Amino acid sequence: MERHALVRQHLLAIEQVLRDHHLWQGVAPAPTAFESDQPFCMDTLEPHEWLQWVLIPRMHALIDSAQPLPSSFAIAPYYEMALDAAHIGREPLLAALQELDVLFAGSAD
């Protein structure tokens, strides 16, 4: 399967994990939440919010416009630290993020 299609498939799997664990939101955070200069907007967004409102739409936009995808991409390590053991959906979310990271490990589009 072509790389863009594989990435889209993994993004949809991440979205499904968020939905399955009731972490998918119907209303976006305030616009100021996206003005953070911290990685993952960690000072203004919850980890699952960043996935929903930043990563997933930006990656879909790259795919939709046939743009090159990032290389050497790894977000699962952040989520391993950011989500405590009691976080709802932690294990399936980490598994989905690790699978996405594998697609970007040392790759160049």
Let me know: does 22 contact 88? Beta carbons within 8 Å: yes
**Mean pLDDT, rounded, for 81-102:** 93
Mind listing the pLDDT tens digit for each residue in 38-82?
999 999 999 999 999 999 999 999 999 999 998 888 999 999 999
Token pair for 33: 């939440």
pLDDT at res. 1: 57
Let me know: does 41 contact 33? Beta carbons within 8 Å: yes
Question: Is residue 85 over pLDDT 90?
Answer: no
In a domain, 109, yes or no: no
Question: Is residue 5 over pLDDT 90?
Answer: yes
* Burial class (CB within 10 angstroms; exposed 0-12, middle 13-18, buried 19+) of 14: buried
In a domain, 37, yes or no: no
Q: What is the CATH number of the domain that holds 72?
A: 1.20.1440.40
Per cent of the chain over pLDDT 90 is 83
pLDDT averaged over the chain?
92
pLDDT at res. 25: 96
- Plot region of 39 (φ>0 → left; ψ -120 to 50 → alpha; else → beta): beta
Let me know: does 34 contact 44? Beta carbons within 8 Å: yes
Residue 80 belongs to what domain range? 3-27+43-104
pLDDT at res. 88: 87
- Structurally, the chain folds into a number of domains equal to 1
Residue 30 — very low, low, confident or very high, per pLDDT cuts 50/70/90? very high
In a domain, 32, yes or no: no
pLDDT at res. 106: 59
In a domain, 33, yes or no: no
